[in-house]
Amino acid sequence: MTPKLKILILRFSSIGDIVLTTPVIRCLKQQLPEAEIHYFTKKQFQTVLQSNPYVDRLHLLADDMRSCIQELKREKFDYVIDLHHNIRTKKIKYQLGVKSSSFNKLNIEKWLLVYLKINALPDKHIVDRYLQTVEFLGVKNDGKGLDYFLEKEHQLADLLPLTHQQQYIGLVIGAQHATKRLPTYKLIDVCRLSTLPVVLLGGKEDAARGEEISAAYGDKLYNACGKLTLDQSAFVVKMASRIITHDTGLMHIAAAFNKPITSVWGNTVPEFGMYPYRVSESKIVEHKNLWCRPCSKIGYKKCPLGHFKCMNELDPEAIAG
């Protein structure tokens, strides 16, 4: 039987942002069971969605956008849900020529908070704002939080040393921008205060810093940075006793598994609406009264003022405790 509805969701990046769209996918599929849900994203983020049972078809962005648009046209979608809302997605919506609903990025409100320190942002998580894009279809938030579906159930014995296969803390040391990451010496302090073995999590770009931390801390720490796939890292997050993390993709994956989370915030702020979503236990550590925060809605390679007080002045006991 031909489906009554065919819906395309657009979100190209990044890992965390795509995970944050998963309630939209689930609510659409469960509340409109006759609908066929398609998702268009970049190829490098395929792992995030390929095991999601609520996605009927995944479309991957190739170098030739024209051929991608032609492929999408052949699908004859009824609606486009634009959760990225940039020039590229505007072009796609124009080319497809069907009814669309777009996420409001609130760029003016973010500008006011960054540059004038005027908070005009709604007290609403970004997930709840994503879900506003499908309200016209009668779809509502089911309150079930984020989703992350593993490719398979891995074995800790294949991923971690014996000393770290029972209780451990997952410490996510990476983040896309340096001003969202704790300095190495602070991470070492956090590790020393931990009462459980620590597994460092991050990409290949974090491996060298992980080795520096490991050398300073000793055998109670295992540096898994760059040694695991995203799916394996997600499994290690799932099995952890607790996750300590910066504002990054693995934080949202931890929220999808409802792990106890301590999130550490540097130049960005939770008020942007991307704090851990619907978790039973969440602790936010930030320099609340620093006049220069937030200095960006994303981040920088280094502190624009040179002092990096937003991270340098954080108490490691507040993070580790």
119 and 166 part of one domain: no
Task: Please state, in angstroms and rounded to a whole number, the distance separating the CA atoms of residues 221 and 211.
Answer: 10
Average pLDDT over residues 141-155: 96
Determine the pLDDT at residue 1.
53
d(C-alpha 221, C-alpha 229), whole Å: 19
Q: What confidence tens digit (pLDDT) does each residue in 163-206 have?
A: 999 999 999 999 999 999 999 999 999 999 999 999 999 999 99
Q: Which domain holds residue 302?
A: 156-320
Residue 147, in any domain of the structure: no
Q: Tell whether 102 and 164 lie within a shared domain.
A: no
Determine the average pLDDT of the residues in 222-243: 98
Q: Which residue has the tokens 């989370």?
A: 261
Separation of alpha carbons 54 and 230, rounded Å: 20
Same domain, yes or no, for 117 and 211?
no
Are 132 and 170 part of one and the same domain? no
Tell me, yes or no, whether 39 lies in a domain.
yes
Average confidence score pLDDT of the chain: 96
Residue 149 lies in a domain: no
Tell me: do 131 and 165 sit in the same domain. Answer: no
pLDDT tens, 94-103?
999 999 999 9
Residue 76, both tokens: 């004859």
Average pLDDT in the 252-275 region?
A: 98
Residue 124 sits in the same domain as residue 32: yes
Q: Band of the pLDDT at 63, cuts 50, 70, 90?
A: confident
195 within a domain of the structure (yes/no): yes
CATH classification of the domain holding 93: 3.40.50.2000
Beta-strand pair 99-102/79-82: parallel
* Position 300, amino acid: Y
**pLDDT at res. 3:** 57
Say if residues 232 and 154 touch (Cβ distance below 8 Å).
yes
Residues 265 and 297 in one domain: yes
pLDDT reported for residue 217:
84
What confidence score (pLDDT) does residue 218 get? 79
pLDDT at 98: 97
pLDDT above 70 as % of the chain: 99
Number of domains in the chain: 2
Question: Does 170 lie in the same domain as 122?
Answer: no
Q: Give the pLDDT confidence of 112-141 residue by residue, as tens digits.
A: 999 999 999 999 999 999 999 999 999 999
